[in-house]
Structure formats: structure tokens, C-alpha cells
């Protein structure tokens, strides 16, 4: 019987990935559909993908599946056969990464969750099948030519910061579950307007479109396949690109460039930059934007204090971390994190 969990250390897995010579494709997909036994579905899927050397992060719940994965190119067709062999996922749209070095993931993790997107919705009358209308790239461009059309970004602040669509409204919240009621409140007097919602790959904006319809909105649309699919369509069909900047992604790349525009700034010096980094201090891992110059100056750390810790012997670093509650410091994505001009060392 195939293993159902990883049993190799993260260090060994990462080293093995970088020794690989065969190319890989980074792919994301999701689908809302009823799964009667998520654990059984998860275990069967793990066996199939493990055999194909698929890496990545997949969530399974009663409401469906959400996946970001890396597939060896030689195994791509076999992967599609396995995935499309599941009736509910037959011919499912796969979002292929725009920029891809094949090093996005190095281990396969499939977890059973309460929901594939944490939404905070407790109303039993909420119906995911009553969702907004899909828009492809061409339809999105055409509808946004109307100045009365409202474009809503359903991603977090750190995603919006480095790239977004023209005229897109940011919902200023740290989590999707906070954004849903906030978006309805912000748009309360625009229930008869054309509203387009978008996100990275489509999963959040699809649920958000259903939520607004549930709250009484009339003309709600969502971008099919999100920014990733939009960028692919724009490139293939040579359409005007209305997305400005970089698309944040939730893997080792931390972003893929859509346009040449740099709309964010380095959180340390304030110069134009849109490269996200996790502070190299293992006791911090703050997510922040760092330019190349500051990356060299601070050794990839967010502050002088973290740089000093990072350059200590490993055993001393472990002693400093022992017993400390790192809490929000780990991969901190809060919109309240420090900005240029503030002291990044005071986290």
C-alpha cells in the first residue's frame, strides 16, 4: 500500500527537488462539488498523486477541492488522466503558472478541512450553486470599459499591494472571512450595479459572488480562473491587459509578473520594488517587500536585529527561539505590518 503521508525531512525534500533535472509545471485548480467522505477522497487522491511525484498543497472538504501543485512534465498527461478520471473533475480547467521555474513545491500535502476556503458563513440558506456569472478575459475587458462597472479585488492587502486590475476596489481586511461581510457593506448602495469580483485563481471570488447574490445584489460576475487564467488568455489571444503589476502566489515563488509596472515599494527603504520575501531569521519569517539592495544590506532579513540573529551560530539561534511565542511573527501578512519610514526592527 502506498504511503499516505510524507516521512522525509523538509531539508532532504528541498535538496532532492533542486537536484531534479526534469522540468515541472506549477498548476492550480479548484472545484466546488459535494464530497461525501472527504477523508476517503483524500487518501485515494494521495495514492494517485504520490505515484506521479506530484508535490503541492491540496485542501479537501465536503464542499470540494482546492489545489496548488507541481507536476513533473513527463507525468503531466498521466496526471490529467487520473484527475479527469474522477467524474466530478472531468475536464476541469487547470490554471498553468505564468512564470514558473518548477521549484514551487517540494512535498505533497493533502489535508481534510472544514471548508476549502474559510468563509465564516453560518447561514444554512447560503447556496454555493447560486453564484455569479463567469467572465472570460475578453468579456471582463469589455464590461470594465463601462465606467459604472465596479471591480472588486477579493484578495488580501499584501496581494493587492503588488498588483491589481485598473480601478479595482480593495476590501481592506486581513482575512477572506472578514472581507465577505465588509464587501457587502461597502457596496450596499450599489446593489443594482454591475459588479465584477476577482481573485488569484477564482476560488475566493466565486464564493464571494454567491455571497453577494445571497445578500440581495443583482448583477454579480466573477473572473473565470482568476488572474492566472486571465493572464493566459490575454497572452494567447493578444488582448489588452488590464492587470497592473505582479500577481502574488502562495508558493515558493511568491509572485509572477503580469505587467512590467512596479506599483509597490520596498518596506525598508521606500524605493520601487515588488519582490516579497520571508525574513530569513527563523524566529521571525515576516512577509515583506524587499528590494535587491536591501536584501544584500540586511542578508534577506527585515531588520538589523533579525540580521544579527540570522548570523549567529544555529545552536545560539535555537536557544533564542526556545520558549518564545512567535505568534503573528510567523509569515505575518497583517495589513498592519510596518511600512517604509517606520522602524521594521520593532515588530
CA separation (Å) from 86 to 24, 82, 90, 149, 318? 23, 7, 6, 38, 46
Asked if 302 and 346 count as a contact pair (C-beta separation under 8 A), the reply is: no
Q: Does residue 205 have an active-site annotation?
A: no
C-alpha dihedral sign at 199, 202, 203, 206: positive
Q: How far lies 156's CA from each of 248, 274, 296, in Å?
A: 10, 15, 28
Distance CA 284, CA 152 (A): 32
Q: Could you tell me if residue 299 is left (phi over 0), alpha (psi between -120 and 50 degrees) or otherwise beta?
A: left
Distance CA(3)–CA(148), nearest Å, equals 54
Report the alpha-carbon distance of residue 212 to residue 183 in Å, rounded: 8
277 and 300 Cβ atoms separated by less than 8 Å: yes
19 and 106 Cβ atoms separated by less than 8 Å:
no
Contact between 107 and 6 (Cβ < 8 Å): yes
- What CA–CA distance (Å, rounded) separates 231 from 105? 22
Gap between the Cα atoms of 284 and 330, Å rounded: 6
**Candidates 199, 205, 301, 302; catalytic one:** 199
Which residues are catalytic, by number? 199
Amino acid at each position: 500500500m502506498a504511503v499516505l503521508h510524507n516521512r522525509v525531512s523538509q531539508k532532504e525534500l528541498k535538496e532532492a527537488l533542486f537536484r531534479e533535472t526534469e522540468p515541472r509545471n506549477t498548476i492550480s485548480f479548484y472545484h466546488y462539488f459535494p464530497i461525501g467522505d472527504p477523508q476517503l477522497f483524500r487518501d485515494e487522491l494521495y495514492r494517485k498523486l504520490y505515484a506521479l511525484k506530484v508535490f503541492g498543497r491540496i485542501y479537501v472538504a465536503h464542499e470540494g477541492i482546492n489545489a496548488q501543485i507541481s507536476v513533473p512534465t513527463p507525468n503531466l498527461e498521466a496526471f490529467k488522466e487520473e484527475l479527469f478520471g474522477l467524474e466530478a473533475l472531468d475536464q476541469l480547467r487547470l490554471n498553468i503558472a505564468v512564470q514558473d521555474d518548477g521549484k514551487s513545491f517540494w512535498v505533497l500535502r493533502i489535508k481534510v478541512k472544514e471548508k476549502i476556503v474559510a468563509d465564516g458563513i453560518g447561514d444554512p440558506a447560503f447556496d454555493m450553486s447560486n453564484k455569479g456569472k463567469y467572465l472570460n478575459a475578453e468579456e471582463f475587458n469589455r464590461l470594465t470599459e463601462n465606467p459604472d462597472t465596479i471591480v472588486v479585488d477579493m484578495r488580501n492587502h499584501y496581494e493587492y499591494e503588488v498588483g491589481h486590475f485598473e480601478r479595482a476596489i480593495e476590501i481592506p481586511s486581513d482575512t477572506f472571512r472578514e472581507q465577505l461581510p465588509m464587501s457587502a457593506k461597502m457596496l450596499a448602495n450599489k446593489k443594482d450595479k454591475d459588479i465584477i469580483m476577482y481573485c488569484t485563481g477564482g476560488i475566493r471570488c466565486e464564493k464571494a459572488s454567491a455571497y453577494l447574490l445571497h445578500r440581495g445584489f443583482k448583477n454579480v460576475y466573477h473572473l473565470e480562473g482568476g488572474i492566472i487564467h486571465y493572464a493566459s488568455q490575454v497572452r494567447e489571444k493578444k488582448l489588452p491587459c488590464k492587470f497592473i503589476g505582479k500577481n502574488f502566489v502562495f508558493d515558493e515563488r511568491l509572485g509572477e509578473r503580469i505587467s512590467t509596472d512596479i506599483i509597490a515599494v520596498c518596506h525598508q527603504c521606500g524605493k520601487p520594488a515588488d519582490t516579497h520575501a520571508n525574513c530569513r531569521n527563523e524566529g521571525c519569517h515576516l512577509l515583506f517587500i524587499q528590494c535587491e539592495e536591501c536584501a544584500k544590506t540586511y542578508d534577506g532579513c527585515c531588520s538589523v536585529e533579525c540580521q544579527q540573529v540570522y548570523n549567529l551560530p544555529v545552536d545560539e539561534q535555537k536557544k533564542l527561539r526556545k520558549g518564545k511565542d512567535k505568534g503573528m511573527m510567523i509569515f505575518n501578512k497583517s495589513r498592519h505590518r510596518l511600512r517604509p519610514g517606520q522602524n521594521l526592527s520593532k515588530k
